[in-house]
Amino acid sequence: MRPIIVAGLDIGSNKTSVVIAEVSGEAPQRAQVKVLGVGQARTGGIRREIVADIEATTESVRKAVKEAELMAGVTVQKLYTGIAGEHIHARPSTGVVAVGRGPGADGEIRPGDVDRVHEVARAVVIPADRELIHAIPQEYIVDAQDGIRDPVGMAGTRLEAEVFIVTGSASACQNVRKAVSRAGYTVAELVLEPLASSLSVISEDEKEIGVALVELGGGTTDVCVFLGSKIRHLASLPWGGATVTNDIAKGLSLPYAEAGRAKERYGVARADFVSPEETFEVPGGAGGQPRHVARELLAHIIEQRVDEIFSLVAAELDRGGFTNQLGGGIVLTGGGASLQGVVELAERNFACSVRVGVPGEELGGLADSVRRPKFSTAAGLAIYGSRRVISESPEGSAMSGASVNGVIKRMRDWISDFF
């Protein structure tokens, strides 16, 4: 049997990242993921996580995947592709079925019963302009006994399932598929980006005691709350790294591209982390002489905007009633999490511990290539794909989050030659 290869594609507002990995293992939660190649390209055509220019997005995807393929020494056809943005909506749904009613029934819950309750829970009205992205099993209740992760084999007469329904704009989803298709590849599955990132930077123990993933992306800041090993809340704020870059461009009278370079090279999230005497050079306008800018001024601009974003995240958590339930604290990820001083700034807004989430702990091979916050989503997509490949058939069902949460441990027949 030839190796199973999976690839994760993260089309961000600033950068497009790809992680190609080799997968082995017999159980989803123990899948061995070996990183073979990593690619990235500057994104064109994405605005606030939405495709605004098909051709520019297509070129970004093509460049990033080709770079990863060259590094890995393999070619891929299908990509587990991330999707996020303000168009994403989520809500819980429940389904109930009777079990043990058929001929020869012995009162034992069988896989078919689980499939039936999933189908009932997914039977919600989805508008024509929306697309179902995930229906993630959260927990099962058997004869009023809750907190059950896998009911197969248990005795009972009534089975209830709680699932988390995630939908997105149908046109936004279709445009992502078109961009990937025009680049010469196929979307294996659209995956919610915060869900993918959580696989690479958050442990199951943290999800149990309560943790909030705050993804500081280019166009948006996404928030995903886990508690009791369930997804409890999703939100997308329309401010991110691009907002910070815009502030720098206006505050320092720089072109947008030059402002972005200044942020990457000299940016700090806390003004008190730099010396007032420290300066850096920026090009003069219209061919004029280069000028020197105080690094403290740059840090002050960044601090003001990032602090505002964190205050909005804190308000979002407070509205959901999660402020005092995050035993695992806040995990920052995304490109913005690389800024020096970002953890200290976040701690001023959150009444809990804060850390930067970096992928790589469960990865082998060239894992060092992805040990940066900006690769959290792409690495998580590769992990997600590996679990899907091991546990579910290619056609699968709409229960696209089943293997992610480990709620179904039974094995299905799998054709290893997926690609």
User: Quick one: pLDDT at residue 286?
Assistant: 66
Higher pLDDT, 362 or 266: 266
Contact 266, 254 (CB under 8 A): no
Same domain, 325 and 236: yes
Same domain, 27 and 176: yes
Same domain, 96 and 28: no
Residue 394 in this model has a pLDDT that exceeds 50:
no
Same domain, 25 and 136: no
Higher pLDDT, 390 or 251: 251
Which of 103, 138, 166 delimits the end of a domain? 166
Higher pLDDT, 157 or 80: 80
pLDDT band of residue 412 (cuts 50, 70, 90) is very low
Same domain, 107 and 243: no
pLDDT band of residue 2 (cuts 50, 70, 90) is low
Same domain, 225 and 316: yes
pLDDT band of residue 389 (cuts 50, 70, 90) is confident
List phi, psi (to 5°) of 88.
-75, 130
Where in the sequence is the domain holding 144, given as residue range(s)?
89-166
- The strands making up 211-216's β-sheet, listed across from edge to edge, are 230-237, 221-227, 211-216, 330-333, 354-356
Residue 9 in this model has a pLDDT that exceeds 60:
yes
What is the per-residue pLDDT across 155-169, written as a single tens digit (0 to 9) for each?
Answer: 888 999 999 999 999
How high does pLDDT run on average in the chain? Answer: 88
Same domain, 387 and 243: no
How far apart are alpha carbons 389 and 32 in whole angstroms?
A: 12
Contact 50, 172 (CB under 8 A): yes
Residue 6 in this model has a pLDDT that exceeds 60:
yes
Same domain, 294 and 216: yes
- The H or E element spanning position 347 is helix 342-347
How far apart are alpha carbons 310 and 293 in whole angstroms?
A: 26
How far apart are alpha carbons 91 and 233 in whole angstroms?
A: 8
Strand runs labelled E in 185-295: 186-192, 211-216, 221-227, 230-237, 279-282, 291-294
Residue 258 in this model has a pLDDT that exceeds 80:
yes
Residue 400 in this model has a pLDDT that exceeds 80:
no
What is the per-residue pLDDT across 182-222, written as a single tens digit (0 to 9) for each?
Answer: 999 999 999 999 999 999 999 999 999 999 999 999 889 99
Mean pLDDT, rounded, for 39-59 = 88
pLDDT band of residue 316 (cuts 50, 70, 90) is very high
- The H or E element spanning position 37 is strand 32-42
In CATH, what number is assigned to the domain containing residue 410? 3.30.420.40
Mean pLDDT, rounded, for 2-7 = 85
User: Quick one: pLDDT at residue 37?
Assistant: 96
How far apart are alpha carbons 152 and 137 in whole angstroms?
A: 14
Residue 103 in this model has a pLDDT that exceeds 80:
no
- Total structural domains within the chain: 3
How far apart are alpha carbons 97 and 114 in whole angstroms?
A: 9
User: Quick one: pLDDT at residue 410?
Assistant: 32
Higher pLDDT, 100 or 115: 115
Taken in order 102, 135, 128, 54, is the CA torsion positive or negative? negative
In CATH, what number is assigned to the domain containing residue 140? 3.30.1490.110
Which of 151, 166, 181 delimits the end of a domain? 166
Is 78 in a helix, a strand, or coil? strand
Angstrom CA distances, 227 to 123, 207, 383, 400, 405, stand at 25, 6, 21, 20, 12
Kindly state the percentage of the chain with pLDDT values over 70: 89
Same domain, 179 and 264: no
Mean pLDDT, rounded, for 74-96 = 94
Same domain, 140 and 259: no
Strand runs labelled E in 105-156: 130-142, 145-148
Q: Supply the angle between the helices 256-266 and 295-319 in degrees, to the nearest 10.
A: 90
**Other CB atoms within 10 Å distance of the CB of residue 1:** 5
Does the pTM of the predicted model rise above 0.85? yes
Same domain, 175 and 154: no
Rg (CA), the chain: 22
Residue 362 in this model has a pLDDT that exceeds 50:
yes
pLDDT band of residue 52 (cuts 50, 70, 90) is confident
User: Quick one: pLDDT at residue 381?
Assistant: 96
How far apart are alpha carbons 383 and 23 in whole angstroms?
A: 9
Same domain, 316 and 193: no
